[in-house]
A and B are shown apart, each in its own frame.
Chain A
Amino acid sequence: MTRYALTRCAVAAFATLAFVPLTLAQTKPPAAKPAAPATAPDPTAAEFDKFREVLEEDNPAELFEAKGKELWFAKRGPNSASLEKCDLGLGPGVVKGAYVRLPRYFADVGKVMDVERRILHCMVTLQGFKMEDLAKQPFSNPNRTPDPVSLVTYVAGQSRGMKIATPMSRPEERETFEIGREIFNYRAGPYDFSCATCHGEDGKRIRTQPLPNLTKPAEAIRAYQGWPGYRMTGGVMHTLQWRMNDCFRQQRFPAPDYASDTITALLAYLAVNANGQVYKGPGIKR
């Protein structure tokens, strides 16, 4: 990506950040009656959707996609190997269309894996990296983007415009989906929250943040759409591994392990619910 494109990205991101408070201030004061019914269009959410559309033309996520591509083909790690032999489910080295067919069952490990977990598996088995090193600081901050994040972004970009077709033919895949559904609905912790507390109904918001109903296909896609995503808050690239982790933080739970079965099960549940919808590629988030 050129320096010009980089600058345009920065300008676009800055413009959005500056514009957000303005929009909030312009929101109409609440009328002297209960809030609008859940089915009415949400003007605040509509405004943010407009920004997202504008920003997607110059999404900084492209930078991470490019970085991920570089990493995929580079000879790295103790084994000085590339990831070109990594099997993401469609055969060694096939990246195109792999993302929209994950999570899936992998016979070589006897497990269902999501995209990030599978990439980690390849980094360990092909390149010789150690899982404990990769899991040490798995999430991005403004100063550091872990390699798996860029790799996930690259792989996701290779499914842009394709229909989500998460496989459910294996018993292991169906079981993972069902466990994911249970975890999604599992209320516990000091606030009695489950994922469904916030994401089980249509048209709800926390503050001004719209909450997709992740139990329905047309809305579950919103959890998939835009991830991995460039997050304007903090200006960092994040994957769904981070998103799930931070949801559990807000759910007042203890911390889930990175790339754990729990996260794979949840992602399988979300992905299957989004089946049939078109994936637009790495996105941009507030």
Chain B
Amino acid sequence: MGIRTASILGAAAAALAAAFSATAGDPSTAAQEMIKRDFKPRGIATIDRVNQDGVQTLCNRTHDKPPKDIAERLEKDQLAGIQWPADGKLLGDWKAGERVAQSGRGFTWSDKPGVTGGSCYNCHQIGPNENSFGTVGPSLYQFGKTRGFGADMQKYVYGKIYNAKAYNLCSLMPRFGHVGALTEKEIRDLVALLMDPGSPVNK
């Protein structure tokens, strides 16, 4: 499972990102050259991973503060690349979602190919029975209860997990669907974990 290339980025967006790319002799260029020299593929971690796609380039060059108009165009591109479930069903099984949320596996050079979790608890408080949660992201406890169980909110949660950069270009959150880390079913199950009124998250 490799990184899906940034093919969904239009040529215009790529050009915009390129306008922010480094000039020769500055620390940024030197850093990228150094990285290309010093990193070697290992396990499933292929060497192409050190290359930036358009979103990464823009965020790196602007220290995660891209100009608003450019950010909006790239967010639109990212949103257009989200593959929504063909049957329109976004709510899966919250119990399966809890297992996906717990697993931090996937994509490191010590991981096996195809074994990937959501790593959700690494950064978010979610269910009431898990005390070992990170705080890099906001708490998601009581998510549906406080934000509503409507169809729009379901769609937002599915989209956010599939590609967080479609909503906030330089978000710290990975693009789990976009890079193939989570399947459609796994994302649906995570949506249920946050949005099913029966999920412990909303008790």
> Which residues of A approach B to under 8 Å, CB–CB?
24, 27-30, 32-35, 38, 175, 178-179, 181-183, 185-194, 197-198, 201, 203-209, 211, 248-250, 252-257, 260-263, 265
Contacts and interface: CB of A to CB of B under 8 A. Distances in A.
B39 A257 contact: yes
Nearest to B165: A192
Given A24-B131, A175-B27, A188 B51 contact: yes
A191 B38 contact: no
Contacts of A186: 31-32, 35, 52, 60
B172 A197 contact: yes
B134 A207 contact: yes
A210 B86 CA distance: 41
B45 A183 contact: no
Given A29-B131, A261-B38, A191 B51 contact: no
Given A192-B174, A261-B37, A187 B136 contact: no
A250 B104 CA distance: 10
Contacts of B35: 183, 186, 262
A212 to B, nearest CB: 13
> What secondary structure prevails in chain B residues at the interface with A?
loop
B174 A260 contact: no
23 contacts: A24-B131, A24-B132, A29-B131, A30-B131, A32-B142, A34-B141, A35-B141, A182-B28, A182-B32, A186-B32, A187-B52, A187-B60, A190-B49, A191-B181, A197-B172, A207-B104, A207-B122, A252-B49, A254-B41, A257-B38, A260-B38, A261-B37, A262-B34
B136 A204 contact: yes
A4 B30 CA distance: 52
Contact of A30 (B104, B123, B141): B141
B50 A254 contact: yes
A207 B132 contact: yes
Nearest 9 CB-CB pairings of A with B = A182-B31, A191-B174, A178-B27, A260-B38, A34-B139, A255-B42, A262-B38, A35-B139, A189-B49
A255 B40 contact: yes
A278 to B, nearest CB: 28
B132 A208 contact: yes
A198 B38 contact: no
B107 A252 contact: yes
A254 B131 contact: no
Contacts of B32: 182, 186
B192 interface: no
Given A30-B128, A35-B125, A178-B27, A188 B110 contact: no
